[in-house]
Each structure stands twice: as structure tokens, then as C-alpha cells.
Structure 1
Amino acid sequence: MTSRPMVLAAGALFALLATVPALALDAQREPEPNTLVPAGDARYRPGAFPDRIVATPAQDAATGFSVAWRTNASVKTPVLEIVVAGDSPDMGEPRRLQATTQALRTENGVAHQHRVDVDGLSPDTLYAWRVQGAGIWWSPWRQLRTAAGPDTPLTLLYFGDTQNKNASLTTRVAREALRHAPDARLALYAGDLVSGGDGEDDNEWGEWFDAAQPMVSGMLVAPAPGNHEYFEEYEDTPRERRVLGAHWPVSFALPRNGASGAEQTSYWFDFQGVRVVVLDGTSALDLGTARAQARWLDGLLAANPRDWSVVLIHQPMFSPRQDRDNELLREHVLPVLERHRVDLVLQGHDHVYGRRAGLVEGQGTPQYVVSVTGAKQYRLSDEARRTMDPVAEDTQLFQVVRIDGDTLRYEARTATGQLYDAFELQSGGDADRRIVEHVDGRIDQRDCRRAATLKGRTDRCWE
């Protein structure tokens, strides 16, 4: 791809000179805390009123979805009510579904996490639904439209890592994304939703739900787990191992159809014309499930009745950050992606932007994308600058994907809505895809202009 020139000496000199005022300004600034919650504040203590409400796709998103929410421990047997949405406030007698409940103990006390799986719905139908808290306390009615037929146009959103300073700096990206894609029906998150491990995990999850409110209040959400959804048990000892954090299994009501060994963190679903498969890269790399996930993925893609395929995973096949190499993913997962010509492989982890095509030169698919939504910003490797185009540092982004018949349109936009990357995949009715780059309207390549972060780290641009 030649849509934008790679970094030249003159550009590097300009970037170096531009660091001078930035450094002078940075010397007068203090690093921002990871959350906006003052120490000891009970902002996110669970209460009688239901919160952290999020709906996720069922395996067949045309006939069902699942809902998770939170209350305090006094709420033991809440229900979900659902009815076909109508224009009158009297929408008729709702169907009532009993939740299953699990306790979660955090720094904010004991919460009860609830889940309901809603099935038997009609395709392409707008439903109103609400969830119960304590007694007469209910959430507001929300509305979701079930997936339509495979030939119906679909708009979805894709977000890279949010992770840090969610309430402060991720919120604006979510709102901008919805402004550019008000018709979006699905939001994909590529993992590391929170940072974790600093004693305020529940506050971070509270801020993620606040930041994601534009998404979770009106569409289905499908997250991939990142390495920060895990923690290190027995850290710095011979027994050290990755353990899935307690929030992940109860914060989302995900489909129970995952790969062997990664049942809680991998899953798949069909939504209109696309099959979406979510992998757990951390489990693959650190817990020995790479081979099992690859076999599982191979079967799902071989049996895919949909025209399009999207794979969501946290760790990239080709890392654009210096000194990262996910060899096990390339050994086991990459051949499956290439063999089945997956259309989009959506990734995170490296806190920069980069896109490249697959291993077969001249072939439009797969398209491998790494993006970042949150505040933490790394630096590109020299190899990424040689092999990926476009690339970006120091940029918060969101992505809009529109699928309509034989065309998939992809756009990456910055936090202020500027177009950074755009292309189309066009199908001729078979597995071959033709890629058409759209360069008009794209802003210039963005590179980090700081020598170090406010904390003095030279391997990052911002934190």
C-alpha cells in the first residue's frame, strides 16, 4: 500500500524540533491519575438500583441476546422484563425472566452480579427491556433491535484498548463514535478494557461502564479479553501463572460456546451477514490453549454460512510495537486466518495504530488492524513503519465498519472525528476480495512528538 509516504528524514527532523515546546509544556504538568475517584470515595459502591447493564449477542443474534447487571447484595432474585417496543407507554404485558446471580467481592464491597439469557425472539424486531434492582427499583426501559437477515446492511464499531483513564479520556471517543455511526448495532472491544492490579479494579470497571454508556445503552457489545483482564498469581515465583480476573466472567453474559480450555473467554456469534469469532490471546500465549483455539476457529470458519468473517483478538499477529513477538499466535492461529481468508482481524494490545494485508501479496484479505482508544500511547517499531500503512502514534481512535451486500467499508477516525484510514473490501461472489484504498480526506500521519512521558518513560508517548 502506498497511500501515505513512510517516515522520511525531513519528517523526523520536523518531529524532533516540534518536541521542544511540548517538552517545555510537559515540565509544568502533573501526570493524571488513572481514575477520577478520590482515594476512599464510595462512588462505585453497589446499590439497590441496577447498574453496569450490558447486553451481549446470543450465538444467533437474530433470536436472542443476554444481559448482565449489578446490584448490592440485598438483591437476590431479580428479573428482566421484555416486550415488543411500541409507541404507547402501554406496551402490553412484558415477558419476565428470572436472573441467575453470583456474588463479587471488591474494594467497593460485595456486589451481586446478575445474568439473563433471552431467547425465542423474532428477527429484526425492536424490543424494550429493563432489569430489576431491589423491590420497586428498576432500570429505565432500553431498546434493542434483534439482528435481521444476512442480506441486511450492518454498521458496527470497533475499539482498541481503552484500559487507562476511561472516564476522563475514553468517554469522548465513545461519544464521537456514536456521532459518526448513529446506526451502529454492535460494538466490538479488543481487550484491556481496564488496567487492573492497582487496588482499584472495581473503580476502573465502574469508569469503563460510564465511558461505554453510549454503546451499552443502545446496542449489543462484544468484548475480547486482554492480558489486563488477567492477573499474575504467585508473581515473581516459580509458580507464577495467569489467572482470569473475577470481574470478567460476571460483568458480561457471553455465549457459552468457546474453545476447549478457554470456555469463559472465547466465543462466537452470527450477526446478519457476518460471523464474529472472539479469541483469547492471553490464554493462547500463556496458558497453552493456542492449538485448541486454532482448531476451534478452523471449524467455525470452515462451516461459516455468512458472506463475511471478523476475528477479534487482543494480541496482534504482527506486533507494531518494538520488542513484542506473539510467536505462538503466528504458529497456530495465523495459518487458519490466512487459509480461510478472514476479512478483518481486529486487534489491540500495542497502543498504536497499524494496518497491513496478509501474507499473500496482492490478496485483499485478511486485513490485520491494530488500534487504540484509550490514553496510554506507545511507540511504533521500525518494522511496523516498513510493513504497515497507515500507522500512527499518540492518537486515540475508533473504527466504523459498514457491511452492505458485497461491500465492506472500513474507516478509522481520531477522537475528534478526523478520517485517518479508509478502505473497501469488494466481493465478486466468491472468496476473492478486491481492496480499494480510500485516501481522499485522510489526515497526515501522526507521530509522537515527545521524548518521554510526564513520568519520564521514553518507551511510551503518553500514559
Structure 2
Amino acid sequence: MKLFKIRFFALILFVTGWSSLLGQTPKITRGPYLQVVTPSSIIVRWRTDMPTSSKVLYGQKQDKLNLTATSANLTTEHEITLSSLKPATSYHYAIGTDNIPLAVGSDMFFHTAPKTGAKTKVRIWAIGDFGNSSDNQINGRDQILKATTDHRPDVWLMLGDNAYSKGFDDEFQRHLFAQYQNSFLPNTPSYATPGNHDYGGKPDQFDIPYFKSFTMPEKAEAGGVPSGSESYYSFDYGNIHFVSLDSYGKLDGQHWLYDTTGRQVDWLKRDLAANKQPWTIVFFHHPPYTKGSHDSDKETALVKIRQNLLPILERYNVDLVLGGHSHVYERTFPLVGHYGLAQTFDKNKHVVSAATSDQHNEYRLGRKKQGIIYIVAGSGGQLGGKANGYPHPAMVYSNNTEGGSMLIDVAGKRLNARWVCSDGVVRDEFTIVKK
């Protein structure tokens, strides 16, 4: 991204229509980045080193930013909603104050979501446990850039532990925003779910940088049922319904995710019951099945999530559950009814699969009860670990030596998923086809 200084004012004024340059020039210290995209709106956020007004110029052509959204409130944390947009349409934008342009560039663009229910192709990027500025994180980022030159991700899912190791603001700045600013943040809408490191290990503390850094669609701005909480929410994109759950926070000072009488799970049931989309993807940090750097037979949260939450997800025919926490990659068979320890897993009893012998990783869903595929994608930055009993017997594929992240393409009734490693190799792929 090009951050223009005053000496370039003539070019910027021509491109963006800013009227004048007055006074001291503030500096952007974070962003711009995109949040909560819908068929008709999107949120643009950025941070400045001094309080200023906020202005976004935007339009369908980079050299004709003829639309304006502003806020006169002086702030360092800028958040502007662009509305009355066209569905499935590309826009370019520039940001600044009322009279000072701060950023404009060829990488500052966005695509609005298609109309809800549309069967057009949607590309999802999912990455967990990534924010540590390691070579694994950086190489993985660059490989996703290469793998998506034909179709940039439409939705970016951050699966928790997004900034190591305490979730401090400067850690988010160094390990997340700085690492993706020149690649994905200015043009890829992101949706986050919190991990234990994002909370800084304090599950009852909610006045934290994680919640200040992201805007959640808690009012059902992007579909679903209003959650009224930044901790958990849902949204639609095309014909996919996404649900983000908080698997670490102690909500209302008393309820964990596995407390099925709590406010979060009560909302989850209502949201899934109201969902009309053919695809449902749920994401939260703590996986119910893993034998990597964490053990789902021994860690209390993982055991109880498997016992108490999974029957609810099965009831509403969720397709995929994405998580992290364990610093490995793991993929289960399509599962139903397995809530016990690893040794109780019975492939003949707990796997619901229509995979054919010649297409081992292609699952065709019919009218019978479908199984849920659980993905652990916790090696986006952190890497490695092996618990007793690795690999978990419910896994089709496990890898604790290479890092990477997921690309998931959904088009109509077909879902293709691949695990792209930090060396560019795709080491796991699978497909789900619905009738």
C-alpha cells in the first residue's frame, strides 16, 4: 500500500477529490482493514497517531472515487460503514480526514458479498494460531497469496490465538496487522474468533485488545440471529451460514461454551434453527478432537465441548467445524455420535460417509443423517506437538511437522477444501457434494 505524503498532494486530490491539505498531517499506524461485508455494505477501519475526523472516498473505478462517507468525531480508531452498495460488486477506496488524504493505492479495494443464497463461488481462507511473526507464518501467508491469484479469498476466518502470547495491543500490531497489511488486510474482509492467548489467559476479562481490534456483526447485520455479543455471532455469505463461538470466555461471569444452558448456546440453538442456507460452517478455537500439542482426552474444555456441544451441532446438520489451539493439522471422518475418549471411537459406528472407493476423500451427502467433519488448523504460525495416542483414531489425516492454512471453495452444492502448507505443497484435500 502507498501512503502518500504531502508532496504527492496533486495526484491524490485528482484521484480522490479531497479539497485541501491543512495543518499537521496525521499518520496511519494500523490499517486500513475490512470488516462485516454484506451484499450492500462494508466497514472500513484504521488507526491514526492523533485524533482526527474520518473520511472514505470510494467508487467502482480507481480513478473515480465519487462516493463519500464521513464522520466528524475526532478519534484515533476510525470505523466507517459504507452502505447502499451493489451486491457482488468491486469497489476501490481511499481514506483520510475531512481535508487530508492519508492512504490510497491499487491494493485498496473490496468486493461486496453476493445476494444471500446465491450459488456463486465463495473462497474461504481459514488460519489458526498464526500471530507470532515466525517464518512459518510469513511463508504460509506468501503461499496463500500465490495460491489465490485467480480468486482472492472472499472471507478470511481467524481461528483464535491470533496474536501471541498475551493478546496485547502491540502483539496484535506486530504479529497480525503488520504482517498482513501489504497483502490481505486492505482488501479481504476478516472475521475472528477468540483463543486463550487473545484473552491473555484471563477468560473473565473482556476489555481487551481483541475486542477493540475487530468489529463483530452482533446485530445480525450480515444475516443470522442477533447475538448481542462481541464474543459470538453469525453471518451469511452467498449460500453459506457461518457461526463464530467463544470457546474460552467465561460469559456473564459463569458460563462456558460447554454450559448448554448459558446465553451463548441458547443463542446458537436459535440461530441454527433459523438458518436456511444449505451450507453451515462453525468455527471456534478449542477442538473437540485432537492429539497434537493439546489432548482432547485430557483437557477439560475439549472433553466437555465434545460431550455437550457436539450433539447440538449434529442436530442442525452442521457441515464443517473449524478450530485451532492444537498446533497441528488434523481432519476427521464425517462423524456422528462420538462423544467419548479416543479409544471409544468405532469407525463402523461413528462415521457417516458416502465416500466411494475410487474417490476416497469425496463425500456425497444424501437424505440420511450427515456427519460433521472437524478440522484442526492450528499450525498457521505455531507448529508441532504430539500427545499420547497421536494420531487420533477419528482422523483421516494428521500432520504435526508442516504448518499451513485452509482454502475452502464453495460453489452451489459442492465444497472443495485443501490444506496449503507454508512450502506451497497441498498435503490434504477433500470434497463434499450435496444432492
TM interval, short-chain normalised: 0.7 to 0.9
Q: 2:381 is matched with which residue?
A: 374
Match of 2:36 among 37, 57, 62: 57
1:180 to 141, 147, 151: 147
CA deviations on 1:100-127 (whole Å, 9 max, x unpaired) are 676xxxxxxxxx2221222221101111
Offset at 1:327?
Answer: 3.2
CA distance in 2, matches of 1:365, 1:337: 10
- Partners of 1:138 and 1:126 lie apart in 2 by 21
The worse-fitting range, judged by mean Cα deviation, of 386-395 and 372-381 is 372-381
User: How many Å separate the matches in 2 of 1:244 and 1:221?
Assistant: 20
> Is structure 2 residue 284 aligned with structure 1 residue 313?
yes
Change (3 A) 1:181 1:381: farther
Instruction: State the alpha-carbon separation in 1 of the partners of residues 409 and 47 from structure 2.
Output: 32
One-letter amino acid of the counterpart of residue 163, structure 1: G
Which residue does the alignment assign to 2:197?
Answer: 228
1:116 aligns with one of 80, 93, 108: 80
User: 1-side partners of 2:215 and 2:68: how far apart?
Assistant: 19
TM-score normalised by length of structure 1: 0.71
SS in 1 for 2:84: coil
2: CA distance, partners of 1:217 / 1:345: 27
- Answering whether residue 351 of structure 2 is matched by residue 361 of structure 1, we say yes
Structure 1 counterpart of 2:132, from 156, 164, 170: 164
Tell me the equivalent position of 1:95: 68
RMSD, matched Cα: 2.7
Deviation at 1:55, TM superposition (A): 0.6
Q: Does 1:398 align with 2:405?
A: yes
Q: Aligned in 2, Cα 1:346/1:232: closer, same or farther, shift over 3 Å?
A: closer
Q: CA deviation at 1:260?
A: 9.3
The CA deviation string for residues 341-393 of structure 1, in whole angstroms up to 9 with x for no partner, is: 21111100111111113224224531100012003432244154322120011
Residue 127 (structure 1) aligned with residue 88 (structure 2): no
After superposition, the Cα gap between the structure-2 partners of 1:253 and 1:423, relative to the gap in structure 1 and judged at 3 Å, is same
Change (3 A) 1:287 1:264: farther
1:302 to 2:273 alignment: yes
Task: Choose the corresponding residue for 2:433, options 413, 423, 426.
Answer: 426
Match status 1:215 vs 2:181: no
Q: Are residues 276 and 294 of structure 1, via their aligned partners in 2, closer, same or farther at CA, if it must alter by over 3 Å?
A: same
* 8 Å CA contact retained: 1:224, 1:313: yes
Q: Secondary structure at the match of 1:334?
A: helix
Matched, 1:196 2:165: yes
- Residue type of the alignment partner of 1:121: L
Query: Which secondary structure does the structure 2 equivalent of 1:382 belong to?
Result: coil
- Post-superposition shift, 1:181? 2.0
User: Partners in 2 of 1:171 and 1:244 — Cα distance?
Assistant: 29
Counterpart code for 1:277? V
- Code of the residue aligned with 2:41 in structure 1: it is G
% identical aligned pairs:
21
Query: Which segment is superposed worse, 358-367 or 304-313?
Result: 358-367
- Shift, 1:92, TM fit: 4.9
* Corresponding residue number in structure 2 for 1:8: none
> SS of the counterpart of 2:184?
helix
SS at structure 1 position matched to 2:161: coil
Which one-letter code corresponds to 1:342 in the other structure?
V
- Deviation string 1:64-123 (CA, Å, 9 cap, x unpaired) is 121221111x2232222222x226x2x152222327676xxxxxxxxx222122222110
Aligned equivalents of 1:287, 1:127: Cα separation in 2:
44
What is the aligned residue count? 359
Rounded Cα–Cα distance in structure 2 between residues aligned with 1:92 and 1:117: 16
Residue range with higher mean Cα deviation, 157-166 or 255-264: 255-264
Task: Give, in whole Å, the separation in 2 of the partners of 1:82 and 1:345.
Answer: 36
Distance of aligned partners of 1:303 and 1:281 in 2 relative to their CA distance in 1, 3 Å threshold: same
1:273 and 1:306 in contact (8 A); partners too: yes
Contact 1:398 1:414 in 2 (8 A): yes
Deviation track 1:255-288 (CA, whole Å, cap 9, x = no partner) reads 1238999811211111111111111111269851
2-structure distance, mates of 1:260, 1:92 = 33
Q: Aligned-pair distance for 1:243?
A: 1.2
SS of 2:109's equivalent?
A: strand
Contact 2:320 2:372 in 1 (8 A): yes
Offset of 1:294 from its aligned partner? 2.0
Is the 8 Å Cα contact of residues 49 and 133 (structure 1) preserved in structure 2? no
Aligned residue number for residue 314 of structure 2: 338
SS in 1 for 2:104: coil
Segments of 5+ residues of structure 2 without an aligned counterpart are 1-24, 337-349, 354-369
The 1:77–1:416 alpha-carbon spacing in structure 2 relative to 1, beyond 3 Å, is same
* Mean Cα deviation higher: 253-262 or 300-309: 253-262
> Shift of the alpha carbon at 1:217?
2.4
2:383–2:403: 8 Å Cα contact kept in structure 1? no
Instruction: State the shift of 1:201 in Å.
Output: 4.4
Decide which moves more: 306-315 or 276-285.
276-285
1:79 aligned partner, one-letter code: K
In the alignment, the residues of structure 2 paired with residue 96 and residue 262 of structure 1 have an alpha-carbon distance, to the nearest angstrom, of: 26
Q: Which moved more, 1:396-405 or 1:288-297?
A: 288-297
CA deviation map 1:120-176 (0-9, x unaligned)? 21101111122225952422241111112311111111112103235x441221121
More displaced 10-residue stretch of structure 1: 151-160 or 360-369: 360-369
CA positional deviation for 1:423: 0.8
Deviation of 1:398 after TM superposition, in Å, equals 1.3
Q: Which SS does the other structure have where 1:385 is aligned?
A: coil
- Cα offsets for 1:25-61 (capped at 9, x unmatched): xxxxxxxxxxxxxxxxxxxxx9623523211124xx2
Aligned with residue 238 of structure 2, among 272, 279, 285: 272
Task: Name the counterpart of 2:27.
Answer: 48
Distance 2:46 2:394 in 1: 43
Counterpart among 299, 316, 341 of residue 324 in structure 1? 299
Q: Does 1:146 align with 2:152?
A: no
Partner of 2:53, secondary structure, is coil
Take 2:392 and 2:73, find their aligned partners in 1: how far apart are those partners?
49
1:21 — aligned with what? none
